[in-house]
C-alpha cells in the first residue's frame, strides 16, 4: 500500500514538473538472468551435501524476451527523470538439482516416498516492474553517440512456476508444478518486493526525433522466488526440527535494446552542444554587427 502511494505521488510530481515540456519515450526489448542470492544464505539441512545426488548443480539460465516502456522528462542538459513500466521473463534449467530445503518442507507436493526428485527441473519467472528512473549523460562521445549512467528503484511483482522439465513426470507424480505463485497454476497473487539497481548505456542518434538506445543493468529484487525455489531455514528447537519460510534478496542482470522517440528539436542532452549553440549565436551576432557601414556605427 505504501509503495502504491509513493508511485502515485511520484507520478503527480512528474506530471507537474513536465507540464509544458515535451517528453521522451523509450520502447525496448530485454532479456536477463539471475545472478544469485547475496546476503545471509538460508540455513541448509546439515546433510545437504551428503544427501544431494552426485552431479547436482544449480540452474543454468535460459534467455527469454521481455519488454519495457519508459517516459522521460529532461531536467537539465545532461540529466532526466522518468517512469518505467517493464515485463521480464527469467528462466533456468538443471539436469539434476541439489537438495533444496524446499523438498524437505511440508510445501513439497511430491509423495513422502519420493520427496527429492532426480529428474531435470526448470523454472519460469515473470516480473512486472514499476520503476522511477534517473539518467545522467556523463560522456558525450561525439555528435551521434552519448553514454549515460542509470539509477532506478521501485516495486516488482514476481510470479513463478517451478516444476519438472519433462511434462511426463508432472503427470506421473500428479503434481502439475512443484511450486507456483502469481501464475495461472496458483491461487496466490504475485509477490511484491523492492526492485532497484544501476546501469550503463548509450544512445545513438538516428534522426532529429529518433535514437537507438542500448543499456545493461544490475538490480536487486526483494524476493526469494525469482529463481523459482522458495527459501526455507532449517531450524532445530530442542530435539525437534522444522523448515521455516524466509525471504531473500535476489540479484539479476539484464540487457535491453530499443528506440527513443522525442519531439524536442535538436535534443542533444549534453552540455557541449548547448555551449556550442550559444557560441554560434554569439559569433553570428558579432558578424552582423561588424558588417554595418562605418558611417552608421556609433562614434
Whether the full predicted model's pTM is greater than 0.85, yes or no, is no
Sequential pLDDT tens for the chain (299 residues): 444 445 555 555 555 554 445 789 999 999 999 999 997 778 998 888 889 999 899 999 999 999 999 999 999 889 999 999 999 999 999 999 999 999 999 999 999 899 999 999 999 999 999 999 999 999 888 889 999 999 999 999 999 999 999 999 999 999 999 999 999 999 999 999 999 999 999 999 998 889 999 999 999 999 999 999 999 999 988 788 889 999 999 999 999 999 999 866 555 444 444 444 344 344 444 444 454 444 444 44
Q: Which cell is 222 given?
A: 526483494
Amino acid at each position: 500500500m505504501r509503495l502504491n502511494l509513493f508511485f502515485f505521488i511520484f507520478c503527480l510530481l512528474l506530471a507537474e514538473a513536465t507540464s509544458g515540456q515535451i517528453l521522451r519515450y523509450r520502447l525496448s526489448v530485454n532479456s536477463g538472468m539471475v545472478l544469485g542470492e547475496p546476503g545471509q544464505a538460508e540455513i541448509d539441512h546439515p546433510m545437504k551435501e551428503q544427501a544431494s545426488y552426485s552431479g547436482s548443480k544449480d540452474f543454468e539460465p535460459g534467455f527469454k524476451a521481455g519488454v519495457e516502456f519508459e517516459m522521460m522528462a529532461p531536467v537539465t542538459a545532461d540529466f532526466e527523470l522518468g517512469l518505467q513500466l517493464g515485463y521480464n521473463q527469467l528462466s533456468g534449467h538443471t539436469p539434476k538439482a541439489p537438495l533444496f530445503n524446499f523438498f524437505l518442507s511440508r510445501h513439497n507436493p511430491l509423495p513422502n516416498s519420493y520427496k527429492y526428485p532426480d529428474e531435470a527441473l526448470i523454472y519460469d519467472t515473470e516480473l512486472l516492474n514499476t520503476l522511477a528512473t534517473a539518467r545522467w549523460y556523463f560522456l558525450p562521445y561525439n555528435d551521434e553517440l552519448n553514454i549515460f549512467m542509470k539509477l532506478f528503484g521501485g516495486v516488482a511483482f514476481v510470479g513463478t512456476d517451478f516444476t519438472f522439465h519433462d511434462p511426463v513426470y508432472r503427470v506421473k507424480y500428479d503434481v502439475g508444478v512443484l511450486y507456483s505463485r502469481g501464475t495461472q497454476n496458483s491461487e496466490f497473487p504475485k509477490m511484491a518486493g523492492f526492485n532497484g539497481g544501476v546501469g550503463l548505456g548509450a544512445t545513438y542518434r538516428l534522426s532529429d526525433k529518433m535514437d537507438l538506445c542500448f543499456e545493461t543493468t544490475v538490480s536487486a529484487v526483494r524476493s526469494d522466488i525469482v529463481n523459482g525455489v522458495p527459501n526455507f531455514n532449517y531450524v532445530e528447537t530442542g530435539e525437534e526440527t522444522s523448515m521455516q519460510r524466509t525471504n531473500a534478496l535476489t540479484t539479476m542482470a539484464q540487457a535491453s535494446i530499443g528506440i527513443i522517440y522525442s519531439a524536442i528539436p535538436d535534443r542533444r542532452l549534453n552540455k557541449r552542444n548547448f555551449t556550442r549553440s550559444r557560441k554560434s549565436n554569439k559569433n553570428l551576432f558579432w558578424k552582423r554587427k561588424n558588417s554595418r557601414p562605418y558611417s552608421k556605427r556609433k562614434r
